[in-house]
Chains A and B, each alone.
Chain A
Amino acid sequence: MEKVPVRVHFSEAPAVEYTKADGPIDAVSRRLIRQEHGANLGVHHGTVQPPADYSGSFREDVAMYALGGTGTVWVDGQEFSFGEGDAILIPGGSQYRHTVEDAEQTILIVFSPPPSPGKHH
């Protein structure tokens, strides 16, 4: 098996694109650290285009970190402003919602355990 590189710049990572043609958002999620790395965590780099409003639930524990832009995150109905330098913990099983109003938001999303590959994070 080919060795999975342990060092990656986000611009070179495998990307999953989300479009409003088939979902609620225009976004790109780059999978920096994936299940195939065999680690206890997964790391995605996401850019979300405004306006965006999406929600869901993860089985994994998730922490989101805002690299740029501003948005709002709800976790189980609790509202948090979410701007550069903020981290939000979304415990596994809780309901989240993320909205972005004005400018592109760039985020880092950390999962434990790493999520299965696919178009859902």
Chain B
Amino acid sequence: MSAQPIRRHFSEAPSVVYERETHGVAAESRRLVKRSDGTRLGMHHATIEAPADYAGVHEEDMVFYALAGAGTVFVDDEEHAFGPGVAVLVKGGSRYRHVVPDETQTVLLLFSPAPTEGHHH
């Protein structure tokens, strides 16, 4: 399938909701650009409620970009202050942890290749 041009505003993008009880984090991730768009990259717009502390490993290369709010991103245990205008690269296979202490943080998550769709990013 070849990709088509698309415009999506984050408020209109398909949304995946994460709940504290089930997923350990209260967040909403809006899929601005996704695998089914037929492209090599993925772009998610996420709001993460404080307090949050979650971790994982992605197969894909991923970049966190902070739009608003302050947090901390650890990449393979290396700590990085993460506030508006900061990008952090998490290569595929690296372990990341994202901590949001005080206020809702809004981030863009950029992936390549585009991740499979589901409840895991």
Contacts and interface: CB of A to CB of B under 8 A. Distances in A.
Interface string B27-43: 00000110001111101
Interface string A79-95: 01111011111111010
A59 to B, nearest CB: 11
The SS class assigned to the B binding surface is strand
Interface stretch (B18-26, B57-65, B97-105): B57-65
A119 interface: no
B89 A39 contact: yes
Interface in A47-85: 61, 63, 65, 67, 73, 75-76, 78, 80-83, 85
A65 B43 contact: yes
A91 B2 contact: yes
Among A89, A91, A110, chain B packs the most CB atoms within 10 A around the CB of A89
Interface residues of B, number: 44
A43 B39 contact: no
A65 B32 contact: yes
Contact of A33 (B3, B32, B37, B63): B63
Nearest to A80: B7
Given A7-B88, A41-B110, A87 B43 contact: yes
A37 B90 CA distance: 10
Tell me whether chain A's interface is mostly helix, strand or loop, or mixed: strand
Contacts, number: 131
Question: Which size bracket describes the interface of A in this complex?
Answer: 35 or more
A87 B5 contact: no
A47 B108 CA distance: 18
A8 interface: yes
B3 A6 contact: no
A8 B32 contact: no
A48 to B, nearest CB: 17
Nearest to B88: A7
10 A-B pairs with the lowest CB-CB distances in the bound complex, closest first: A75-B5, A91-B3, A40-B112, A87-B32, A41-B112, A112-B112, A7-B80, A112-B41, A80-B7, A39-B61
